Structures are given as structure tokens and as C-alpha cells.
A and B are shown apart, each in its own frame.
Chain A
Amino acid sequence: MFPKGTKRKFSDSREEPVAGGEDVNQSSLAAVRMLSSYSLQRQSLLDMSLIKLQLCHMLVEPNLCRSVLIANTVRQIQEEMTQDGTWQIMTQALSAANAAAQCSADRLVATEVLCRQTEAAQGEQVPKPFPVVGSEGCPAKEVLEEEAAAAEVGMTMSTVSPQAPTSYLPGTFGMDPCWEEEETGEDDDDEEEEEDSEECGSGSEGEERERDSLVEDTRTAEQVFGTFEIKNPAPSPDPALEELFSDVDASYYDLDTVLTGMQSVPKMGPYDLLESLSSHGPSPLSSSTSCRSDLNELDHIMEIIVGS
């Protein structure tokens, strides 16, 4: 990836993470870092990429090459942000924002389904992602990151396997009560920016988990090209229907619908999303210097995406 200190294309070299210091200083440093030009531009690039992935032309099949390149870019940004720890901060902020929002029972169910699938995807990693106890620390954080990654990468619910209930709702990750507990647990952790110590305070372990969560994020990110076969909302797939469609290569179809992510958010069409986003304007180079306003903006964007 990017070795530390390498000059980036966007802007001047970004600020280096500062070691040590008190909590108060670190939170202000975190805020400053968050707003550093490079981070903002990177965030804006991520937002732009996600919008591009969503706004596919519904009439004609989307250009697969373009979609793949954009998805790879998103993955790349996500990996870097995970390394920096910015990813974690953002998802924490999002979960804080979304915790206050109302959740319906449906969405909770869907999230539970996601957790189960996520568990399967993780393999030997975390045996029990749900419910999460804040004091457990690191393993819970990984789940957080992975789900956050999934949330950010674009409302993909490709973890729904053919056997799982297919009530599919995107962007419900922030609604999970387990995140609330997780969040309170993390308040106690220091807001350290350093990669090594951000996880649990133990250096080598943290690094290893970093790598692991990186792998998970990659996998989740790749779920942009989800594999659920047909957009069949029926709870129990009709075997005859499945057989009928069994030899159809619906993967292109999948790509289209998954990338648009609009299937389960019927209220919001692709152009609505664009309009609402443009009216709020990501304005990465705004003069606002408070972390809170930036988080509010992210919160706003996530709300729109989630359709809450």
C-alpha cells in the first residue's frame, strides 16, 4: 500500500500520526487529522466512487470494466483508510448517529442474518459476532470494521445465500444494537491514531488483527459483485422456479442490481440520491473545522443512503 510519508498525488503530504499525549490532545489531533486535506479528498473520492457505482443506467447493462475499476478504487481507499484508522472513526461516528434513529423489527432481523453470514465468511476469525460485549475489545472491533466496510461499500447484502431468508434490506448495519454496546465500550479506549495501538493497546496483536481485518474488509468489499442469483423476494425459493433459472447466467444482473443497491429502497431512485447528495454537498474543502459538522455530514449522507 502506501508507505508512510510517501507524497500523495492529491495534495501536500499529510500530517503524520502523533504518538503519545493525553486524551484531550489526541481527540483534537484526531479532528485535525480528519479534516486534513488529503483525508477529505480521499473521502470525497470514496463518496464519488460509491455514487458512480450506484448510478447505473437501468435500461442498458452497465459497463463491467468501468464498474470493476471503480470498485477496485473503492477497495483501495477502504484498505488505506482501515490502515490509518480513519475507517474506524468514521464508522463509529456513523453508528453513533444511527443509534438514535428508529429501527424497525424487520431491519433488526436482517442485520442478524447479516451477522450470521458474516460469521460464516470470517471463518475461524470471530466465533460469535452477535451479541457483542463492549469489554471484549478487539474481536468485536473486527466485526465492527467488517460490517462498517460492508455498509460503506455500498449497501450490499450479497451475504444472503440462497438458503437464508431473503428479506433483504441494505444499510441496516448501523441499527444493530450490538453496535451501541460496542460504542460505549470503545469510549474508554484512547483515541490513539497509531495503527499498532488503536486496536487493543497491544502492539503485535494489533498488527495481526489489522491484517486480518484488512483481509475481511477486502472480502466484504468484493461483495459488491454479490452472488445472489435472482432478485426473488419470496421467502422460500420455489424449486421449480430455481430450476427454471438455474442455467441463466444472472451474474450480470446481480452486478447491476447490487451496485445500484436500489432494489430494497424503493422510495429513492438513483436521481433522487444524486439530488439529495448534491444539495447537501460533500464540500470537502469547506472551512468548517469542527469534527462534529463533518460527522453530521457523513451522518446525513448515510441516512440518505440507508433511506431512513
Chain B
Amino acid sequence: MEAVSCRCYQFNLLLVMLFVTADIISTVEFNHSGELLATGDKGGRVVIFQQELESKNQPQCRGEYNVYSTFQSHEPEFDYLKSLEIEEKINKIRWLPQKNAAQFLLSTNDKTIKLWKISERDKRPEGYNLKEEDGRYRDPTTVTTLRVPVFQPMDLMVEASPRRVFANAHTYHINSISVNSDCETYLSADDLRINLWNLEITDRSFNIVDIKPVNMEELTEVITAAEFHPNQCNTFVYSSSKGTIRLCDMRASALCDQHSKLFEEPEDPSNRSFFSEIISSISDVKFSHSGRYMMTRDYLSVKIWDLNMESRPVETYQVHEYLRSKLCSLYENDCIFDKFECCWNGNDSVVMTGSYNNFFRMFDRGYRQDVTLEASRESSKPRSVLKPRKVCTGGKRKKDEISVDSLDFNKKILHTAWHPQDNIIAVATTNNLYIFQDKL
């Protein structure tokens, strides 16, 4: 049977898990196998979910995710020199490819990146000679025999321990981290600079991009996102607030201020307004799994670029074009600065991104279809498939449609993630994490 690329509008998505967090979710990321899902929140906490193995009793519940580990990754800090607080909010989490029994992930706030080791412990040594079981030391005079401690099974305990702390390398706010395909290095990007780190070395990093002008007066553009190529360890891209993406080759020079390629779409003069630059600012950039394409998200659209063509994207998908006439209001309430992320599915045939009113959108590249879905308690009844939603842009509002003016701009889906192999998606609303799965 040939593999048919799945059409997104044919997805029958069921809610498999709803997790309510104490704090606003700020990042969501599957690991490379999809077995683990990590979330970071505004309070500096990381919560990791693990996919349960397929159960013979309940074949319907394949892939149910349960809480695996919770730990405090970052604490709030105070910069005494500048008299400013450093937020503990986790901006990004990136998993390292698994090498042994333990799992490793990088988590970052605005200033500091940490490497965490997550390991399981399911047995412990028992039968010490000098210690009681509770840890108290025995009176040596009471020891009359010698025994060898043995490992006894215990309840599974998941431990998270910080293995490396990469600090003091960023003057500005870190917006991205990306692990290199060589699994030895990674990059971290802030508003004006990108640094290259070795995972083993914490007291040194190389600056590979610096767009800070000599005169801060001349600052008109900042770095918004950066990512390593999935296969080529010498290649990375970074996006800017002016809607450009630069591809850099680290072999060319030590400082990659000169890009190898510049991806920029010429502006559409008919859509020109005072907000043109703001809405062209790229909030996220992601390579496809194949490495042939990359996707960018700006305020109103998702664009797919072929790395071989710099002049314009090969595909453009409108996420919520009906907002174009509302840009002034969205500027007023600051929503225009919301940074939406985007993601690819496992075989790069479908892309997904979030919107307002707890809507999220999927675009099928092959069949040119798109669908709008909602992540909310009301529309996510157990056992019922998610129903496509529609926004009414004008004129008569049909039943089940929602008008643009009724949209709740406080309910935004900024973070979404797609399982690397299966049709399982994680969607984060403000403080709820939804995991949907394709109905079997």
C-alpha cells in the first residue's frame, strides 16, 4: 500500500489530554522520537510529558501523554548594574538527540541557557552495613555481620539535574536556541547577536553574527529568530524584524555578518500602510525536516521558501487576512507585536500555526487545503472529533461562523508543536496544553 500524504482537512482530531498549567505556557517542544513533550512556562518551570506505550487493553488510547517530570529551570534574577529584573520565563526549549538512557534538553530565558539531564531511576541499593534504610547511621558497635548491598526495584523516579549553565553571553534578550546536527554545538540568538557554543564548554562562546550598529541611534532592525540547518552543520538562518531571512555559512568566515543568501519578498505596493513593516516582521523561522525548505511566520501569513530561491517564497498561506483592516486597533492593543510560531508535520506536507480566539490553522501543501480548528474546552469534548471553524469576514454570518468582531484577542495560540512521526499535535493556549491525536 503506497503512503499517501495525509490531507489536513481529513484529520479527525481527538483530544487526548488537557493539562492546565499554573503559569502561561511560553514554549512547547517534542523530542526527536516524539515520546516526550516539554513545555516551559512564564514561571520558569519545565513540565515534561511522556507518551504511554500502546496498551493492549485500550487500543484507542495509543499515545496518551502523562506528566513525566516537573522541575524549576530558571529563577527570577536581578541585574544590579542596570536595576532591572531578568524574567525567569522560558523562551525556548530544544531537545538534544538521545545518545544514552538519559535525555538532555536546553532551556533558556532571556539571558541564560541551561542544559538539563533527565534520567530515570527505578532501583536503589538496599542493605548498607553502616546506614539504616532511612539514612541514619548505625552505631558501629551493633554491626556484627557484613552484607553486600543489592539493588532493589523502586517506584520510577525521574530526576532532572542541571549539567551546564551557559551564562553572561547575551546583552539583549535571547529569542532562539538551536542545536546543530553535529550534536556538539548549538547557537543562541538575541536581538542583535548570535553566539555559537560547544555543549561541553560554558565559559566561552563565539560570536558569529553581530548586527549591532556602532551608533545605537541607527538601529532599525533586530534579529527575531535563528535556526541551524537540520543536515548541514555549517549552515544556519536568521530572520529579522524587517521581514528578511539571511542564510549563513560558517565555513565562509568566522563572523557571519555577510550572508550567503538573503531571502526577501518585494513589498506589495497596493497593501502599503504605516503598519507594513511591523506586520512583515518575522516571528518564527523553521527548516523543513528535509532541509530543502524553510518556513517563516509573519503577522498575517506563513511563507514557505525554497532555499535555492531567494527572490520570493514558493508558497504563501494567509493565516487571518481578515485582520488586515484591523491593524490600527491591533497596534493600539499591542496584539500586532504578538509572536506566533509555526511548525511542520513529520513529512513536511502540512504546516500549522496559531491565531486568535484559540484558533489554530493547518495548511496542506500538497492539496492546497486549509482548516481552522479551535482549542477550547467547549469544542474539545472527549471522543468527539474537532470541528472546523470559520471566521465570517463580512456580510451575512452563517450559522456556526464567528464574526471578526467577536474574536477574543486575549485568547491567542502562539505555540504549537507536531509529533515528528505521527499525527499528534500539541497546542498551547494561555495556560492550557491540548494534545490532539488523529482518530485511529
Contact = CB atoms under 8 A, between A and B. Distances in A.
B171 to A, nearest CB: 5
A60 B274 contact: no
A225 B217 contact: yes
A174 B7 CA distance: 64
Contacts of B137: none
Contacts of A64: 172-173, 191-192, 222
A45 interface: yes
A267 to B, nearest CB: 21
A188 interface: no
Contact of B277 (A48, A69, A223, A252): A69
B327 interface: yes
A8 B277 CA distance: 15
Given A8-B273, A63-B173, A69-B241, A255 B337 contact: no
Given A65-B222, A68-B221, A254 B273 contact: no
Contacts of B82: 61, 250, 252-253
Nearest to A249: B171
B84, B212, B220, B274 pick with most chain A CB within 10 angstroms? B274
A211 to B, nearest CB: 19
Contacts of B219: 68, 222, 225
Interface residues on A, range: 35 or more
A224 B171 CA distance: 19
B85 interface: yes
Interface stretch (A72-80, A122-130, A133-141): A72-80
Interface in B135-164: none
Contacts of B281: 65, 69
A250 B218 CA distance: 16
Given A65-B191, A68-B241, A253-B82, A73 B275 contact: yes
Contacts of A9: 272-275, 327
Interface in B237-262: 241
A63 B216 CA distance: 15
A82 interface: no
B172, B216, B327 pick with most chain A CB within 10 angstroms? B216
B331 interface: yes
Interface string B315-356: 000000000000110011010010000000000000000000
A6 interface: yes
Given A73-B275, A249-B171, A222 B218 contact: yes
Interface in B81-97: 81-82, 84-87
A292 interface: no
Contact of A227 (B217, B220, B337): B217
Interface in A2-19: 2, 6, 8-10
B224 interface: yes
A209 interface: no
B215 A227 contact: yes
B272 A61 contact: no
Nearest to A68: B222
Nearest to B325: A9
A108 to B, nearest CB: 25
Interface in B385-399: none
Contact of B241 (A2, A65, A222): A65
A60 B272 contact: no
A61 to B, nearest CB: 5
A222 B213 CA distance: 12
Interface string A42-53: 100100100010
A71 B87 CA distance: 24
B233 interface: no
B172 A45 contact: no
A64 B170 CA distance: 13
B20 to A, nearest CB: 26
B328 A61 contact: no
B274 A73 contact: yes
B208 interface: no
Nearest to B283: A65
A6 B171 CA distance: 42
A45 B336 CA distance: 14
A154 interface: no
A253 to B, nearest CB: 5
Contacts of A10: 273, 328
A72 B327 CA distance: 16
A15 to B, nearest CB: 19
Nearest to B332: A48
A2 B281 CA distance: 20
Given A6-B272, A222-B218, A73 B277 contact: yes
Contact of A223 (B86, B87, B191, B217): B217
Interface in A213-235: 219, 222-227
Interface string A241-265: 0000000111111111000000000
A219 B217 CA distance: 8
Contacts of A225: 216-219
A232 to B, nearest CB: 14
Contacts of B84: 59-61, 256
Contact of A72 (B172, B216, B272, B277): B277
B63 to A, nearest CB: 37
A75 to B, nearest CB: 8
A66 interface: yes
Contacts of B81: 248
A211 B220 CA distance: 20
Given A225-B216, A225-B219, A59 B337 contact: no
B278 interface: yes
A42, A68, A76, A219 pick with most chain B CB within 10 angstroms? A68
B337 A63 contact: yes
Contact of A59 (B85, B222, B241): B85
A77 B274 contact: yes
A68 B337 contact: no
A111 interface: no
15 contacts: A9-B272, A45-B328, A61-B86, A64-B172, A64-B222, A65-B224, A68-B222, A73-B274, A73-B277, A76-B277, A158-B217, A222-B219, A227-B215, A250-B82, A255-B216
Given A61-B86, A222-B218, A227-B217, 10 more contacts: A6-B272, A9-B273, A10-B328, A45-B331, A52-B334, A59-B85, A61-B82, A64-B222, A68-B219, A69-B281
Among all A-B residue pairs, the 5 with the closest Cβ atoms? A9-B273, A225-B216, A222-B217, A64-B191, A251-B216
